[in-house]
Chain A
């Protein structure tokens, strides 16, 4: 007679840490953790030791000392007597400016090129293929210095605009000056402006800008209310009231009124002394970097867009037509939502790449955060560890925020499987 016995309730033995699968994963993790901590301790200990030998104990105090150097493109108030921290902040804003401009341009160009690559016109499709291959297969750093060289060598110097019979003239009815120091475009000015206010005593923010944004947002919100009302009326009565003129007026009327009230006018650039004065100066370095990054990234985006469009099977649009949807509704309701699901994730990772590539600004002297904090500040203070840590932290925060947006989007459009 056999009795069913419980498996022996073995006492814990040391060998179970290796052989028992219940404990083994724990063992591996503990070993990994110890190994990792030892490595970290090793590196940190070495660093402390080495820095002590060099007489450079880690110290972030340099950030509050005067920077001593000038920065040409600054979105906030900055002089050579401002602190290194402020210089880093000026650089950060410059990084963000070129990243945002680059992402927008790259997207527009990329979509156009991606669609044209699928064009039935043989010649156009080929040209676009050549474009994509040409930009994808040459390093972006080379494109940046190349475009910078083109701008410097082929455009006229400001002194060519001088004299009674100048070699070069301003474009677009004398409002835009294209020189090899950059492009001068008209700037918005307010003769009855509201002035600035200061945030934490550190940054000046223009009331005019805030007022315009507020009025614009309010206008769009009102226009949307009108549209929703019209929708409701249509639902209830079957008749849709005509609202487009009202919506248009709501959107832009208040802003126009505000602009007139503020005394809005354009300040045009004009040649004064060595340079053009007045207007907004978009420097060569910004333009070269912006153009190179957009053209380079556009080649990748074009491929993504092409793949996205080709991924939607023809049956989808045919089915939509069979349901009686009109072409534009088919596009909005059937094709785009599906294509975007394919397009958006790689698109955002390309935005990420563009932002990281903007650190190559240093090659053309654009003062982004790598140029200020990781460049001149590092050089003048000799604080490599501190500046590089800060620099990496800043880029990490930017990257992680972009990734967070991507994850949020991916989750919101994820196919819900049964």
Chain B
């Protein structure tokens, strides 16, 4: 009897707390800081520099959201997460959003109760191998030793690919990218498999990057994108449309250079005006300021600028746009209209 009352009291307390925790957007505003989960270190995507400042492509998404919500791209706490801790960190509310090359899959979306708000990089799993190994296709890797990062979907894709093609391999599970490169460089692995973007980034860090080849097979689809907790659509919308604003800005030709002009002297493109808040009330609908998208784009420019600065062809990572070009240029990036 006593216990029943006790449980009852706790349940009420729990419900109250649950209701209070529902609005992530309000939480973030009240806190004045955005907690953003990133990886512990992937060159070009998220890595701390010598001053402890986080840099990279995924980091830029976090900064854009912080700018859109709080008006300050530095009002942000980066929480480094590993493959194991990332989902629990998000589920437990420790972080508000996760931007850590995470593949959008059915079970993560449905079973693990997360909501992927979009795709910021279309990737696929590939293989990196030294040229002197003499392989030209992943199917030549029969009996090879292959390094994989554990706790990722790549592990399952690899097992499936080799089973379907009926070839043998020896998996070497690795905890971090740095260790994988060490093993690959020393010849302890014949090949390293992860997302092709990661492979390009890794190849760039080798002393003689021309001695390494990325095999033509892409054995999986890896749409990478930021995600939030399931069931908080307001917050999901904020992150989704911040990402869309970055993408749409590139399509519409809004850059960090001309944005101020476009905002102060509205042009005759109504979509740009609506996005930048000079026309309509899109920001208000999101629960943000009217100039939320200006702030987001103002941090580091539009999607294309962020891409070029962090992982583009002029960086050591040297990734081509490929699938990640705008739909108008043969890619898959297609932001829904701002209307």
Residues of the A chain whose Cβ atoms lie less than 8 Å from the Cβ of B190: 274
Instruction: Type the 1/0 row for B93-113, where 1 means its CB is closer than 8 Å to any CB of A.
Output: 000000000000000000111
Tell me if B286 counts as interface (CB < 8 A to partner A): no
Q: How far is the CA of A68 from the CA of B164 in the complex (A)?
A: 13
With both beta carbons as reference points, the residue of chain B lying nearest to A283 in the complex is identified as B172
Choose among A45, A153, A272, A275 the residue that contacts B170 (Cβ–Cβ < 8 A). Answer: A275
Instruction: Type the 1/0 row for B128-169, where 1 means its CB is closer than 8 Å to any CB of A.
Output: 000011000000011111000011000110111001000001
Tell me if B18 counts as interface (CB < 8 A to partner A): yes
Tell me if A58 counts as interface (CB < 8 A to partner B): no
With both beta carbons as reference points, the residue of chain A lying nearest to B144 in the complex is identified as A274
With both beta carbons as reference points, the residue of chain A lying nearest to B108 in the complex is identified as A382
Question: Which of A48-56, A185-193, A245-253, A262-270 forms part of the interface with chain B?
Answer: A48-56
CB atoms of B14 and A80 under 8 A apart:
no
Tell me if A133 counts as interface (CB < 8 A to partner B): no
User: SS class of chain A's interface: helix, strand, loop or mixed?
Assistant: helix
Q: How far is the CA of A363 from the CA of B171 in the complex (A)?
A: 15
CB atoms of B188 and A284 under 8 A apart:
yes
Tell me if B87 counts as interface (CB < 8 A to partner A): yes
CB atoms of B143 and A275 under 8 A apart:
yes
Tell me if A353 counts as interface (CB < 8 A to partner B): no
CB atoms of A272 and B143 under 8 A apart:
yes
Tell me if B187 counts as interface (CB < 8 A to partner A): yes
Q: How far is the CA of A48 from the CA of B195 in the complex (A)?
A: 37
Instruction: Type the 1/0 row for A267-293, where 1 means its CB is closer than 8 Å to any CB of B.
Output: 000001111010000001100000000
Tell me if A379 counts as interface (CB < 8 A to partner B): yes
Residues of the A chain whose Cβ atoms lie less than 8 Å from the Cβ of B11: 45, 49
CB atoms of A49 and B187 under 8 A apart:
no
CB proximity of B175 to chain A, nearest CB, Å: 6
Choose among B3, B151, B170, B182 the residue that contacts A149 (Cβ–Cβ < 8 A). Answer: B182
Choose among A42, A53, A68, A157 the residue that contacts B159 (Cβ–Cβ < 8 A). Answer: A68
CB atoms of A68 and B172 under 8 A apart:
no
**Known pairs A49-B14, A365-B150, A375-B150; A72 contacts B171 (CB<8 A):** yes
Tell me if B1 counts as interface (CB < 8 A to partner A): no
Q: How far is the CA of A191 from the CA of B257 in the complex (A)?
A: 77
Instruction: Type the 1/0 row for A158-186, where 1 means its CB is closer than 8 Å to any CB of B.
Output: 11100000000000000000001100000
Tell me if A367 counts as interface (CB < 8 A to partner B): yes
Instruction: Type the 1/0 row for A53-95, where 1 means its CB is closer than 8 Å to any CB of B.
Output: 1111000000000001111100000011100000000000000
With both beta carbons as reference points, the residue of chain A lying nearest to B174 in the complex is identified as A365
Residues of the B chain whose Cβ atoms lie less than 8 Å from the Cβ of A72: 170-173
Q: How far is the CA of A55 from the CA of B109 in the complex (A)?
A: 13
Tell me if A348 counts as interface (CB < 8 A to partner B): no
Q: How far is the CA of A49 from the CA of B91 in the complex (A)?
A: 14
With both beta carbons as reference points, the residue of chain B lying nearest to A44 in the complex is identified as B7
Interface size class of B (residues with CB under 8 A): 35 or more
CB atoms of B172 and A365 under 8 A apart:
yes
CB atoms of B172 and A54 under 8 A apart:
no
CB atoms of A69 and B175 under 8 A apart:
no
CB atoms of B143 and A54 under 8 A apart:
no
Which residues of chain B in 7-24 are interfacial with respect to chain A, using CB atoms and an 8 Å cutoff?
7, 10-11, 14, 18
Residues of the B chain whose Cβ atoms lie less than 8 Å from the Cβ of A367: 173
Tell me if B186 counts as interface (CB < 8 A to partner A): yes
Tell me if B88 counts as interface (CB < 8 A to partner A): yes
Q: How far is the CA of A376 from the CA of B170 in the complex (A)?
A: 17
**Known pairs A69-B156, A382-B111; A365 contacts B188 (CB<8 A):** no
Residues of the A chain whose Cβ atoms lie less than 8 Å from the Cβ of B156: 68-69, 380
Tell me if B83 counts as interface (CB < 8 A to partner A): yes
Tell me if A38 counts as interface (CB < 8 A to partner B): yes
Q: How far is the CA of A278 from the CA of B141 in the complex (A)?
A: 18
Tell me if B84 counts as interface (CB < 8 A to partner A): yes
Residues of the A chain whose Cβ atoms lie less than 8 Å from the Cβ of B182: 149, 152-153
User: Among A55, A79, A152, A378, which residue has the most Cβ atoms of chain B within 10 A?
Assistant: A152
CB atoms of B188 and A157 under 8 A apart:
yes
Tell me if A371 counts as interface (CB < 8 A to partner B): yes
CB atoms of B14 and A46 under 8 A apart:
yes
Q: How far is the CA of A279 from the CA of B91 in the complex (A)?
A: 47
With both beta carbons as reference points, the residue of chain B lying nearest to A68 in the complex is identified as B156
CB atoms of B88 and A69 under 8 A apart:
no
Tell me if A41 counts as interface (CB < 8 A to partner B): yes
Choose among B3, B133, B151, B175 the residue that contacts A363 (Cβ–Cβ < 8 A). Answer: B175
Choose among A152, A274, A363, A382 the residue that contacts B87 (Cβ–Cβ < 8 A). Answer: A382
**Known pairs A181-B188, A284-B188, A363-B175; A69 contacts B155 (CB<8 A):** yes
Choose among A158, A272, A285, A380 the residue that contacts B187 (Cβ–Cβ < 8 A). Answer: A158
Which residues of chain B in 159-218 are interfacial with respect to chain A, using CB atoms and an 8 Å cutoff?
159-160, 163, 169-175, 182-183, 186-190
With both beta carbons as reference points, the residue of chain A lying nearest to B151 in the complex is identified as A379
Q: How far is the CA of A362 from the CA of B174 in the complex (A)?
A: 9
Tell me if A20 counts as interface (CB < 8 A to partner B): no
CB atoms of A180 and B14 under 8 A apart:
no
Q: List 17 A-B residue pairs with CB atoms under 8 Å apart, sorted by A's residue number.
A: A41-B7, A45-B10, A49-B14, A54-B91, A68-B160, A69-B155, A70-B169, A81-B163, A152-B182, A158-B187, A181-B145, A273-B143, A274-B145, A275-B145, A365-B150, A367-B173, A378-B84
Task: A153-B182, A157-B186, A274-B141 are known; give 17 further A-B pairs, CB within 8 A.
Answer: A42-B10, A45-B10, A69-B155, A72-B170, A80-B160, A157-B187, A159-B132, A272-B143, A274-B133, A274-B143, A274-B145, A284-B188, A376-B151, A376-B173, A380-B155, A382-B87, A382-B111
Which B residues fall within an 8 A CB radius of A?
A: 3, 6-7, 10-11, 14, 18, 83-84, 87-88, 91, 111-113, 132-133, 141-145, 150-151, 155-156, 158-160, 163, 169-175, 182-183, 186-190
9 A-B pairs closest in CB distance: A157-B187, A80-B159, A365-B173, A379-B151, A274-B144, A273-B143, A180-B188, A68-B156, A152-B186
